[in-house]
């Protein structure tokens, strides 16, 4: 609403309450009486009436809105009146009355305007009014790749946001980091808010149900969420009812996919493996390999327990373990959506989804059923209400967690089948192919490795998840005046998970338990709710001043409980449904319960002058039950300014710059993401007392309470520019940020004399500094041809500034996690070790011996040249030969997307890249481990073989050491397993055809599109493990890459 104030009046904002009272008085100024005009406002798409359309007599404050039947009536105050009609998502129109008393108008949908509406904390804003760093991803981008995960759908679409698969296994989800890691505890997950409900993730959602995802990145945007906004905020808005009254809208989307393995790591063939295996015995047969004869070597390799292995090697009998374990996966997705608006102003959107996917390993399968309903009801011009409910039921079977590992470990001459007394295969599977025995004598036919049979693991292992996820909210809004509204929202989320695991008698676990079945059961349930009460003021005065004010009171509560039970040595194989039948001494039972609450108040002021100069101020006060009483409450303020240079008068005459806005913001956010009850002394059942020969349980404090535990606080400075040229044919943004997280919640080491190892405390700091670039170009835009491209670029520098109460650069701290170090002045993901420097050669024996090494062993760099390889004294520098080799954090990442439309055909493609990624690879630790042990190896080009008398040709490799003689730096310090995991991955290529209107009319359809899509068709990388995207994953759970070929259609009735 616009109101003109006379020059004699003054306006001074003292507080939110003063502003409210002042505007209330001004808002009741009465308009002059005159002619009355009425009419009906409809929308072009369905020809249905539009409720809530703003109608203002141009040049005055006189205005009204359409009722929920689209009717309006306005009494004019001027001659030659012009009506201005505006409605969110539709183009604004000006209509001259010209003496008429009936004026009806049809509004056209404005697609660009719809895209520019951004969801911010507890409200929405037009993109042009933003002062913070927020990126929106709409429904078209979310559904374009045809993925079952919302996070995978937006992977690479948002600058400053790193999204990656954790394992490549179906159902395992994706990890997301916004502007770098802030925490030394490893938890950098952002806050997810789905329709106002905080959730632990969004993988349970169906991408088809999502209308928009908004990612809040800087402190100005996230500060309104206070203590939960440090790692960024991901706001998900699901689809709701349509505004226009008309018929029912029905759409159906379906696709079928075939999932094939790709980039299978190349392992040694039979002949090469046998050659490698024989060469390994040169190191253990004699100290001088020149004294080893061919006969002596064969005696050591074969011995008396490997006659069948030798027989199979001589005959070239190999088994394709990968073909036996891997298979083609199938992917299906069906989605039905029904939406519309009834005559009484009730609008609705209902979605049903069914997803099924099988993995590339037997017994890996995912079924997901989703249901979504959104109902909005405009009761009157002043009252509205609505409800959103999203439910998902997931059944996920991960099968065997060992099958993949065991299949890759087994060498090609091993067989999964038992043998007869002549060494011939039978049809019966044998549990340990590397420990194969003759049936009658029980003597070993092969005795090389204790690796288990992956086919038996697949047949006899169960790992089943059953999840229910439900979130919903109900709101009620009262708008007594055009510029004032009150809203109360109750939101709740309920999540349950049951995980059942069972291992048959012939599995790894079964063999380790007297060849008897074992099982375990885990149950988890969490329930959270929030109650938000807010008022909103949106007020314009003197035509150029606009003030938006938000006041919020919020209460959040979360309850979590879990139970675990397991037993071993069960007499019957009944899965995980009869744990009580196991041997009682193997029973394991435990449970957990956690409850936390958060009380909050917040205020946000947005001010705009002449649509050119923008100001945002906010503050949030949070009180958390997780922290000590003395430090339970804290405030998180922020401020942001923006200047829309393109709206200045001196920019109006030029036609090159269509949009130019400078932004700057500064603010604070917090984090209380720690385990509950850290401020209390927790008792642990860890001691037993002997009373007369009987043991009794006892309890001792397991952790030391910290009565002064407070908030982590993160301050962030962001400077950015939004730009558009040539009528926004070229548009984008650049942001530069500097973030510092202090008082990190982490375990501080304590002296042994205290009786405790650690205490959770506020200590440590981490910084992230970086630049983000997003660019979109509309290269061709004609009636029949359009071509657009978009690019993102992100560079973030992550640095540990202080740790364990110290801030001296270069200090090195070990952690409880293997291969994870904390080094002040380096990235949290720094890789720290000696630097591999090749292999000691035959002519370097004297020098090698001076370092305690020998020919064929791994060499590392002596950085200070003192003749000693020194591990240092916990600090980088001249006395330390261990160095920072790199970081698993990418030095930079980027993406590219392009779409070409020619007539009714469209083709699109997208790609992502991570560069400068350096990881410790567990895959290589297992498959380039030259200890031998009779296991399969990666097909390495060469390895060191010394001159010998066993007719094994010498190889003077400088890449891999001698088998079984690698030396301490390869064997113990594992210097040879670091890899560059940089990559470029084409995420998808799609081709579609949209049918013309005359065809649709004959079919009785509104639209029909058919398409073909390929997911992950190409990966360009030097990494030769499973997949560079999850190169850091453990080799036991990592999966091979896959390519998915899809055919689908989209129909609207």
- pLDDT band of 32, cuts 50, 70, 90: very low
Q: What is the C-alpha end-to-end distance of the chain, expressed in Å?
A: 39
Determine contact, residues 913/984, Cβ cutoff 8 Å: yes
Phi, psi at 551, each rounded to 5° = -120, 135
- Give pLDDT tens digits for 508-517: 999 999 999 9
Please state the rounded mean pLDDT for residues 244-256.
83
What number of CA atoms fall less than 13 Å from residue 902's CA on the CB side? 4
DSSP symbol at 208: G
Alpha carbons 568 and 581: distance in angstroms, whole number:
9
CATH code for the domain defined by 31-109: 2.60.40.1120
- Give pLDDT tens digits for 60-115: 778 888 887 789 999 988 888 889 898 866 778 889 998 899 999 998 866 454 44
Q: What is the mean pLDDT of the chain?
A: 89
Instruction: Look at strands 765-781 and 785-802 and give their pairing.
Output: antiparallel
Torsional class of 168: left (φ above 0), alpha (ψ -120 to 50), beta (otherwise): left
Determine contact, residues 465/366, Cβ cutoff 8 Å: no
- Give pLDDT tens digits for 650-664: 998 888 999 999 999
| pLDDT at residue 5, rounded to an integer | 36
Phi, psi at 271, each rounded to 5° = -65, -45
Q: Is the pLDDT of residue 8 over 70?
A: no
- pLDDT band of 179, cuts 50, 70, 90: very high
Q: Is the pLDDT of residue 924 over 50?
A: yes
DSSP result, 943-1010: --B---SSS---B--SSS-BTTB--HHHHTS-GGGEEE--EEEEEEEEEEEE--HHHHHHHT-SEEEE
Tell me, rounded to whole angstroms, the distance of Cα 534 from its chain centroid: 31
| pLDDT at residue 3, rounded to an integer | 37
Alpha carbons 958 and 678: distance in angstroms, whole number:
52
Q: Give this prediction's pTM.
A: 0.86
The percentage of the chain sitting over the pLDDT mark of 90, rounded to a whole number, equals 67
Alpha carbons 123 and 106: distance in angstroms, whole number:
28
Please state the rounded mean pLDDT for residues 988-994.
96
Determine contact, residues 89/242, Cβ cutoff 8 Å: no
**Residues 311, 314, 319, CA angle at the centre, nearest 5°?**
75
DSSP result, 673-701: -S-TTTTS--EEEEEEEEETTEEEEEEEE
Q: Is 109 helix (H, G, I), strand (E, B) or coil?
A: strand
As given in the structure block, the two tokens for residue 321 are: 């373990």
Alpha carbons 316 and 273: distance in angstroms, whole number:
12
- Give pLDDT tens digits for 758-807: 888 888 999 999 999 999 999 999 989 999 999 999 999 999 999 998 99
Write down the number of H helices and E strands in the chain. Answer: 17, 53
Determine contact, residues 731/659, Cβ cutoff 8 Å: yes
- pLDDT band of 45, cuts 50, 70, 90: low
Determine contact, residues 195/183, Cβ cutoff 8 Å: no
Q: Is 364 helix (H, G, I), strand (E, B) or coil?
A: coil
Residue holding tokens 């000691």? 840
Within 8 A by CB and 6+ apart from 642, the residues are 130, 131, 613, 614, 661, 662, 663, 664
For 486, 736, 894, 979, the CA distances from 795, given in Å and listed in that order, are: 42, 10, 9, 21
| pLDDT at residue 34, rounded to an integer | 73
Tell me, rounded to whole angstroms, the distance of Cα 400 from its chain centroid: 24
Q: Is the pLDDT of residue 285 over 70?
A: yes
DSSP result, 136-178: EEEHHHHHHT--S-HHHHTTTTSTTEEEEESSS-TT--EEEEE
In terms of Cα–Cα distance, which of 969, 966, 944, 858 is closest to 279?
944
- Give pLDDT tens digits for 1007-1017: 999 999 999 99
Enumerate the β-bridge partners of residue 305. none
3-state helix, strand, coil in the chain (%, to 5): 15, 50, 35
DSSP symbol at 313: H
């Amino acid at each position: 609403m616009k109101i003109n104030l006379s020059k004699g009046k003054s306006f001074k904002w003292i507080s939110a309450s003063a502003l409210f009272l002042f505007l209330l008085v001004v808002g009741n100024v009465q308009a002059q009486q005159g002619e009355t005009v009425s009419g009906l406002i409809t929308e072009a798409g369905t020809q249905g009436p539009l409720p809530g359309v703003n109608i203002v007599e141009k040049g005055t404050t006189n205005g009204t809105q359409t009722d929920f039947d689209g009717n309006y009536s306005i009494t004019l105050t001027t001659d030659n009146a012009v009506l201005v009609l505006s409605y969110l998502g539709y183009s604004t129109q000006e209509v001259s009355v010209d003496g008429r008393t009936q004026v009806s108008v049809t509004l056209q949908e404005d697609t660009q305007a719809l895209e520019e509406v951004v969801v911010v904390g507890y409200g929405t804003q037009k993109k042009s009014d933003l002062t913070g760093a927020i990126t929106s991803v709409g429904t078209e981008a979310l559904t374009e790749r045809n993925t079952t995960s919302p996070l995978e759908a937006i992977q690479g679409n948002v600058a400053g946001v790193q999204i990656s698969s954790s394992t490549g296994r179906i159902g395992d989800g994706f990890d997301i980091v916004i502007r770098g890691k802030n925490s030394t505890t490893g938890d950098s997950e952002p806050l997810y808010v789905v329709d106002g409900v905080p959730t632990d993730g969004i993988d349970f959602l169906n991408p088809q149900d999502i209308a928009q995802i908004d990612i809040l990145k800087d402190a100005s945007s996230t500060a309104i969420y206070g203590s939960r906004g440090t790692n960024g905020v991901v706001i998900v808005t699901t689809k709701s009812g349509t505004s226009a009254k008309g018929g029912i809208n029905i759409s159906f989307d379906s696709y079928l996919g075939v999932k094939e393995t790709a980039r299978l790591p190349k392992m040694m063939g039979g002949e090469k493996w046998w050659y490698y295996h024989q060469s390994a015995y040169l190191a253990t047969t004699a100290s001088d390999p020149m004294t080893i004869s061919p006969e002596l070597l064969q005696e050591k390799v074969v011995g008396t327990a490997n006659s069948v292995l030798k027989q199979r090697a001589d005959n070239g009998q190999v088994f394709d373990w990968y073909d036996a374990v891997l298979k083609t996966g199938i992917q299906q997705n069906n989605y039905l959506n029904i939406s519309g608006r009834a005559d009484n102003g009730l609008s609705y959107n209902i979605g049903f989804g069914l997803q099924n996917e099988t993995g590339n390993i037997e017994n890996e399968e995912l079924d997901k059923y989703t249901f979504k309903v959104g109902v909005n009801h405009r009761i009157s011009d002043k009252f509205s209400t609505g409800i959103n409910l999203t439910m998902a039921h997931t059944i996920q079977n991960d099968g065997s967690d060992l099958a993949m590992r065991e299949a890759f470990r087994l060498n090609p001459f091993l067989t999964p089948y038992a043998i007869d007394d002549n060494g011939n295969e039978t049809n019966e599977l044998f549990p340990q192919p590397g420990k194969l025995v003759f049936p009658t004598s029980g003597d070993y036919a092969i005795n090389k490795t204790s690796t288990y049979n992956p086919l038996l693991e697949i047949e006899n292992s169960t790992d089943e998840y059953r999840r229910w996820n439900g979130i919903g909210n109900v709101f009620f809004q009262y708008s007594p005046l055009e510029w004032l509204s009150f809203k109360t929202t109750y939101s709740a989320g309920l999540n349950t998970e049951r995980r059942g695991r069972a291992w048959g008698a012939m599995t790894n676990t079964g063999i380790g338990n007297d060849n008897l079945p074992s099982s375990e059961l885990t149950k988890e349930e969490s329930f959270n709710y929030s109650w938000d009460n807010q008022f909103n003021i949106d007020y314009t005065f003197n035509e150029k001043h606009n003030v938006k004010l938000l006041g919020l009171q919020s209460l959040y509560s979360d309850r979590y409980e879990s139970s675990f039970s397991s037993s071993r040595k069960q007499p019957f194989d009944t899965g995980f449904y009869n744990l009580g039948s196991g041997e009682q001494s193997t029973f394991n039972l435990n449970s957990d319960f956690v409850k936390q609450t958060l009380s909050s108040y917040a205020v946000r002021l947005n001010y705009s002058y002449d649509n050119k100069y923008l100001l945002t101020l906010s503050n949030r006060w949070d009180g958390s039950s997780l922290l000590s009483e003395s430090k339970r409450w804290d405030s998180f303020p922020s401020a942001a300014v923006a200047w829309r240079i393109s709206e200045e008068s001196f920019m109006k005459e030029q036609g090159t710059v269509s949009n130019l806005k400078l932004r700057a913001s500064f603010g604070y956010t917090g984090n209380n993401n720690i385990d509950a009850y850290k401020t209390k002394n927790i008792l642990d059942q860890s001691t037993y007392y002997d009373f007369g020969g009987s043991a009794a349980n006892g309890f001792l404090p397991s952790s030391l309470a910290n009565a002064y535990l407070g908030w982590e606080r993160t301050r962030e400075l962001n400077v950015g520019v939004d730009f558009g040229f040539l009528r926004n044919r070229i548009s984008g943004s650049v942001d530069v940020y500097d973030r510092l997280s202090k008082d990190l919640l982490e375990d501080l080491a304590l002296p042994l004399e205290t009786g405790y190892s650690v205490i959770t405390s506020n200590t440590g700091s981490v910084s992230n500094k970086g630049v983000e670039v997003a660019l979109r170009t509309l290269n061709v835009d004609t009636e029949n041809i359009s071509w657009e491209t978009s690019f993102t670029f992100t560079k973030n520098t992550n640095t540990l500034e202080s740790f364990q109460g110290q801030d001296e650069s270069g200090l090195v701290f070990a952690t409880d996690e293997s291969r994870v170090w904390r080094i002040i002045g380096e990235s949290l993901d720094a890789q720290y070790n000696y630097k591999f420097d090749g292999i000691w050669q035959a002519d370097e024996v004297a020098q090698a011996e001076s370092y305690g090494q020998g020919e064929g062993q791994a060499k590392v760099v002596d950085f200070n040249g003192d003749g000693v390889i020194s591990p240092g004294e916990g600090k980088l520098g001249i006395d330390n030969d261990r160095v920072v080799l790199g970081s698993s954090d990418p030095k930079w990442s980027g993406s590219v997307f392009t779409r070409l439309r020619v007539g009714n055909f469209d083709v699109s493609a997208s790609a992502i890249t991570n560069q400068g990624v350096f990881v410790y690879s567990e895959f290589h630790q297992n498959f380039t481990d030259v200890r031998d042990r009779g296991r399969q190896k990666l097909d390495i080009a060469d390895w060191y073989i010394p001159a010998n008398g066993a007719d094994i040709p010498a190889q003077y490799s400088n890449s891999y050491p001698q088998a079984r003689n690698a030396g301490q730096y390869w064997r113990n310090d594992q210097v040879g397993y670091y890899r560059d995991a940089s990559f470029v991955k084409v995420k998808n290529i799609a081709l579609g055809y949209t049918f013309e209107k005359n065809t649709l009319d004959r079919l009785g359809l509104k639209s029909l599109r058919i398409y073909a899509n390929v997911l992950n068709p190409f990966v360009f990388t030097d990494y030769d493990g499973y997949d560079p995207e999850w190169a850091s994953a453990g080799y036991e759970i990592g999966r091979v890459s896959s390519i998915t070929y899809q055919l689908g259609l989209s129909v609207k009735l």
